[in-house]
Amino acid sequence: MTTDAIDRTHALELASLLCSRLCHDLLSPVGALSNGLELLAEEKDPAMRERCFELLEQSARTSADKLKYYRLAFGAAGGFGEMIPVAEPQALIEALVAGKDRVTLTWSLASDTLPKIAVKTLLNLALIAIEALVRGGTIAIAAEMRGTSAEIVVRAAGPRIAFDPVIGQALEGRQAVGDLSSRTAPAAMLAVMAASVGGALQYALSEDALVMGAVLPQGKTAA
């Protein structure tokens, strides 16, 4: 098999794993919609029907928020140019944590726009940070254009950090594609994108904090 064929096979495997991740994360809210509709069809009590409508609205909103997030985090982000207003990823990340009372977001966004690859990186690092705070905590997100490079730092701090070092290996491009799973595929995607523009990702993990950073030069075509 040629090198190009191997690269295409790896790209297909990575795309398949990202699709699996998307489907896994959407299964719960979409399943809740289905269950809510079944309950609504059988329920006669007005108060209970009102509660069913509230749950359906919540599940629909969660599904829509996740689809919007994944469209920009994983997809081609059609409709956007190469520079994207930072308000877009900020709104998507805030929607993801809207139902998590124990997670607090702080922002330090020094630029009004960021390159598309930087926005995709920001979204994915934020999701990793959210999932790491199993007992709640604070996520600090900073991003800016420094010269011709986008620089991103995401710090998750809390009483317990749930972060598998395998995800860190994928972030730094040290995990073989054949060893990836739907859980580590987003991190591997970031590593591929960063490498395609001559950039780099890194992370540092301690007992109560996870810090992830990215430096992404402009002017090259991202994968």
1: helix, coil or strand? coil
Domain CATH for 205: 3.30.565.10
In this prediction, residue 155 has a pLDDT band, given cuts at 50, 70 and 90, of very high
141 or 30: which carries more pLDDT confidence?
141
Containing domain of residue 154, as a range? 3-217
Whether residue 222 is contained in a domain is answered as no
In this prediction, residue 79 has a pLDDT band, given cuts at 50, 70 and 90, of low
In this prediction, residue 3 has a pLDDT band, given cuts at 50, 70 and 90, of very low
pLDDT digits (tens, 9 = 90+) for 90-124: 999 999 898 788 999 999 999 899 999 999 999 99
Whether residue 8 is contained in a domain is answered as yes
Whether residue 223 is contained in a domain is answered as no
Whether residue 69 is contained in a domain is answered as yes
pTM assigned to the model = 0.84
Do residues 33 and 200 make contact, with C-beta atoms less than 8 angstroms apart?
no
Whether residue 157 is contained in a domain is answered as yes
pLDDT digits (tens, 9 = 90+) for 158-183: 998 999 889 999 998 887 666 788 88
**pLDDT value at residue 215:** 96
**Structural element, H or E, at residue 41:** helix 3-42
**CA gap 78, 66 in Å, rounded:** 16
Whether residue 127 is contained in a domain is answered as yes
pLDDT > 70: what percent of the chain? 91
**pLDDT value at residue 4:** 43
Whether residue 74 is contained in a domain is answered as yes
81: helix, coil or strand? coil
Quote the number of domains for the chain.
1
33 or 86: which carries more pLDDT confidence?
86
154 or 83: which carries more pLDDT confidence?
154
CB proximity list for 114: less than 8 A, separation 6 or greater = 83, 84, 86, 89, 122, 143, 145, 150
pLDDT digits (tens, 9 = 90+) for 18-50: 888 888 887 887 788 888 888 778 878 888 888
